């Protein structure tokens, strides 16, 4: 992967309000970056994608038997699963896609109804999330922050598990199971990250600062990044590590009694760091309140499929 080579072509922006960083204005730089990203996707042998509803690009995952988890892991021990074929969106659901859903249905999210959204900004102490009644998917950081309409290609956030399920139902799909997510995210590898067993800064959008008082520019973004900002995995899925946690439809074995109140999430997020939430990998499983909403939670959609227990 050539992510580190891209850094020299990128101009760091100063928009601390939104946390966005911008590419250099040179047309040549933009072309080179685009070709580099294309080359990374091609070199990974990405599966041929299909057009899905509401602009989703779908990656087909063939039926088969898969080894998942990690030996002696408390919530995701090593196990074998057989799955039918399914299709999964190649990116996290974007603000642009959620806008269409809301316009067509009039849907009101939990954060808008319950006024319970939690927000985190650079400069706050680790884990010091605060509730902001005016934060929701339209303005993830609150009324004084950036607006979703300004960041249409970023993943939609401040979405509860129930909101994500409502969107999936409307679009004709569903949330992935924990195993489906891991199969698609791994894309055939057994390592802890899509590129190997050592995390490499700059290959995914996480928090690289020693604390949350100050972020570095190692991955070019403070908060969410536009989908497809980093190289995909071997099957063409973007952001399986970092950017936003991705909801799943089930819980680990032995925890299903909490399904009504709790929802799982995978892959980590822009907020995750080595010193706090270290779940930005292919093994760990996060969780949160099903009706809760955070500025680092999102989801992707699955179509078809269905699990069969391994024999």
Domain ranges of the chain: 48-308
Confidence of residue 286 (pLDDT cuts 50, 70, 90): very high
Average pLDDT over residues 149-165: 98
308: helix, strand or coil:
strand
Residue 188 binned pLDDT confidence (cut-offs 50, 70, 90) = very high
Structure tokens belonging to residue 28: 């040549």
pLDDT cut 70: percent of the chain above it: 83
User: Cα–Cα distance between 56 and 96 in angstroms, integer?
Assistant: 11
Closest among 88, 84, 87, 89 to 306, alpha carbons compared: 84
Let me know: does 266 contact 255? Beta carbons within 8 Å. Answer: no
Alpha helix segments (H runs only) across the chain: 3-6, 27-43, 95-105, 110-114, 161-171, 178-186
pLDDT for the residue numbered 256? 87
Q: What is the pLDDT of residues 236-270, one digit of tens each?
A: 999 999 999 999 999 999 998 999 999 999 999 99
More confident call, 289 vs 9: 289
For residues 225 and 231, the answer to whether their CB atoms sit within 8 Å is no
Q: Does the structure show a pLDDT above 60 at 29?
A: no
Which range has the top average pLDDT, 13-17, 28-32, 269-273?
269-273
Residue 185 · residue 176 · CB < 8 Å: no
pTM of the model: 0.85
Residue 58 confidence (pLDDT) above 60: yes
Instruction: Name the fold adopted by 48-308.
Output: 3.90.1580
SS3 for 254-296 is CCHHHCCCEEEEECCCCCCCCCCCCCCCCCCCEEEECCCCECC
**What does each C-alpha distance from 166 to 69, 105, 162, 179, 286 come to in angstroms?**
29, 10, 6, 21, 21
Which residues 6+ apart lie within 8 Å of 31 measured at CB? none
Ramachandran area for residue 267 (φ above 0: left; ψ -120 to 50: alpha; else beta): left
CB 95 within 8 A of CB 153: yes
Q: What is the pLDDT of residues 85-142, one digit of tens each?
A: 999 999 999 999 999 999 999 999 999 999 999 999 999 999 999 999 999 999 999 9
């Amino acid at each position: 992967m050539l992510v580190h080579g891209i850094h020299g072509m990128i101009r760091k922006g100063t928009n601390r309000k939104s946390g966005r960083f911008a590419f250099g204005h040179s047309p040549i730089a933009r072309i080179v970056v685009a070709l580099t990203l294309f080359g990374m996707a091609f070199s990974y042998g990405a599966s041929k994608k299909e057009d899905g509803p509401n602009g989703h690009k779908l990656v087909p995952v063939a039926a088969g038997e898969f080894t998942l988890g990690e030996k002696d892991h408390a919530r995701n021990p090593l196990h074998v699963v057989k799955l039918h074929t399914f299709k999964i969106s190649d990116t996290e659901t974007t603000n642009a896609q959620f806008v269409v859903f809301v316009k067509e249905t009039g849907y009101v999210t939990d954060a808008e109804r319950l006024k319970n959204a939690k927000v985190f900004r650079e400069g706050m102490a680790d884990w010091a999330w605060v509730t902001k009644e005016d934060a929701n998917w339209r303005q993830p950081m609150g009324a004084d922050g950036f607006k979703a309409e300004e960041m249409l290609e970023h993943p939609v956030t401040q979405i509860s598990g129930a909101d994500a399920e409502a969107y999936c139902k409307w679009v004709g799909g569903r949330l992935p199971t924990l195993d489906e997510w891991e199969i698609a995210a791994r894309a055939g590898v057994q390592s802890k990250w899509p590129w190997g067993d050592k995390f490499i800064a700059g290959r995914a959008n996480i928090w690289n600062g020693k604390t949350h008082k100050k972020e570095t520019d190692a991955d070019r973004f403070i908060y969410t990044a536009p989908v497809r900002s980093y190289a995909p995995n071997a099957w063409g899925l973007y952001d399986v590590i970092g950017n936003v946690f991705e909801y799943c439809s089930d819980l680990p074995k032995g925890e299903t009694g909490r399904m009504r109140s709790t929802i799982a999430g995978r892959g980590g997020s822009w907020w995750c760091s080595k010193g706090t939430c270290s779940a930005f990998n292919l093994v760990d499983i996060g969780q949160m309140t099903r009706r809760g909403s955070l500025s680092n939670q999102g989801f992707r959609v699955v179509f078809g499929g269905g699990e069969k227990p391994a024999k």
